[in-house]
């Protein structure tokens, strides 16, 4: 296949504004639910560890490691979901597959809120939770590729970066929604109530959210690009594999730094810096606000100057700032205002990568393999660098005693992403529509 510019020309079939807006909403709502739940699971990690992974007399840190292991396992099923649902989405259409994955995600998440704990059913409890996490991983793997395909294939000419950025923006909204719900419950309920039954409420809330998402997706049209090119010749598997590897490398910093600063942060602050649950949640809300503020402007800017310069700026900033920002949080002499600014900035620089990221991935693949290709690139990167973030950071801190591990983890992965973004791709770049 021929090479194309880094954010090549828009070649989409013209779509009506109403179709574009409907696609944006239908694509976004599933992402919101997915990341709301993943955020809630991360924010309540210490409580879930005690309820499901820590039998009487067990170590708290051991329970937290097992909780993150379950967290990581769900991420490793994302590539399986991306391959399975992506292939279906490229064969039968984006719409029916997106309907299926939102049903699967909603059902699995709601059931987590109704699960019996270790105190009730013993060793069966963590297995039941892990099974539902696997179902969530499968559905999440199918969600991203379809949602981004719909958003970018319906995007008006010259606005693919802006439209694609809404996928990342609803990630921020989902994480903020989860953090807000956790903060509300932590404020309204006593510690005993929160640990006993309050933690279940955010998961049960997914049911009405999922029904709303289902209604929106049932009203969604199939994309013009898919209708016109579903029978087109598919590119060679080797070129698709190269594009998947390239895409995964370019977003690994986004995946790792995003989860480090936006999801793992609460448990890290509590277990390593002795912060209270409420303090950890406030820090997380500020980080996610910073993340949300920069995403859409970054996507808009990438339509004008290219995906590479904006994403590269974010990767280099995280590489340079991750450890200094973390040291500000560790310092007892740092004021709360400065600490709040530090976590806000940490989230904001990740947003520079997340804004153009979906459009960049979409443009690596032609319509015939787009759902599968971009879904796999995203899922593989997230499986390794997001899903393992909590497990790697917690286990490494326990073994080394160094509280700087999160900063090193984010900086190193973003440095590798920066190198990948600097590499000029030739035959590996597949022209987007």
Cα–Cα distance measured from residue 162 to residue 212, given in angstroms and rounded to the nearest whole number: 24
Q: Which domains does the chain have, with CATH numbers?
A: 17-422 (1.20.1250.20)
Instruction: Tell me what pLDDT residue 123 has.
Output: 81
161 token code pair: 């970066």
| pLDDT (0 to 100) of residue 59 | 56
Strand, coil or helix: what is 236?
A: coil
- So what's the pLDDT on residue 371? 94
Residue 429 has a pLDDT of 37
Q: Per residue in 125-147, is it b (16+ CB within 10 Å) or e — as a string?
A: bbebbbebbbbbbbbbbbbbbbb
What residues in the chain have per-residue pLDDT under 50? 1-13, 57, 426-433
Res 410: pLDDT: 93
| 264/244 Cα distance (integer angstroms) | 26
> 184, exposed or middle or buried, with CB in 10 Å at 0-12, 13-18, 19+?
middle
| 347-398 pLDDT tens trace | 999 999 999 999 999 999 999 999 999 999 999 998 888 877 777 887 888 8
| Helical ranges in 200-276 per DSSP H | 201-204, 206-218, 224-229, 237-259, 265-273
């Amino acid at each position: 296949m021929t090479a194309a510019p880094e954010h090549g020309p828009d070649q989409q079939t013209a779509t009506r504004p109403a179709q574009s807006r409907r696609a944006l909403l239908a694509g976004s709502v599933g992402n919101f639910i997915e990341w709301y739940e993943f955020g809630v699971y991360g924010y309540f990690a210490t409580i879930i560890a005690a309820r499901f992974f820590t039998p009487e007399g067990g170590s708290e840190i051991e329970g937290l490691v097992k909780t993150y292991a379950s967290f990581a396992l769900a991420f490793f099923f994302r590539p399986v979901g991306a391959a399975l649902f992506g292939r279906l989405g490229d064969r039968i259409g984006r719409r029916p597959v997106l309907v299926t994955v939102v049903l699967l995600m909603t059902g699995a998440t709601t059931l987590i809120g109704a699960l019996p704990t270790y105190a009730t059913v013993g060793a069966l409890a963590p297995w039941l939770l892990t099974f539902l996490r696997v179902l969530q991983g499968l559905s999440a793997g199918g969600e991203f590729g379809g949602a981004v395909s719909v958003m970018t294939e319906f995007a008006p000419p010259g606005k693919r970066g802006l439209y694609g950025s809404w996928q990342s923006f609803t990630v921020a909204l989902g994480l903020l929604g989860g953090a807000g719900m956790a903060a509300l419950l932590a404020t309204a309920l006593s510690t005993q109530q929160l640990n006993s039954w309050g933690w279940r409420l955010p998961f049960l809330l997914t049911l009405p959210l999922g029904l709303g998402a289902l209604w929106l997706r049932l009203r969604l049209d199939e994309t013009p690009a898919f209708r016109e090119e579903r029978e087109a010749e598919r590119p060679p598997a080797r070129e698709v594999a190269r594009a998947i590897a390239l895409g995964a490398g370019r977003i690994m910093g986004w995946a790792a730094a995003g989860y480090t600063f936006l999801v793992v942060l609460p448990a890290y602050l509590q277990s390593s810096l002795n912060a209270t649950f409420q303090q950890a949640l406030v820090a997380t809300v500020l980080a996610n606000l910073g993340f949300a503020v920069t995403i859409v402007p970054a996507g808009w800017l990438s339509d004008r100057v290219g995906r590479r310069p904006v994403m590269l700026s974010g990767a280099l900033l995280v590489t340079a700032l991750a450890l200094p920002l973390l040291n500000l949080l560790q310092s007892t002499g740092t004021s709360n205002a400065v600490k709040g600014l530090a976590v806000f900035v940490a989230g904001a620089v990740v947003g520079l990568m997340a804004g153009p990221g979906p459009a960049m991935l979409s443009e690596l693949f032609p319509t015939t393999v787009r759902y599968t290709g971009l879904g796999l690139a995203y899922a593989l990167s997230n499986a390794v660098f997001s899903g393992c973030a909590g497990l790697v950071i917690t286990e490494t801190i326990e073994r080394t005693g160094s509280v700087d591990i999160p900063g090193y983890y984010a900086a190193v992965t973003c440095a590798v992403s920066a190198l990948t973004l600097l590499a000029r791709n030739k035959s590996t770049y597949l022209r987007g529509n």
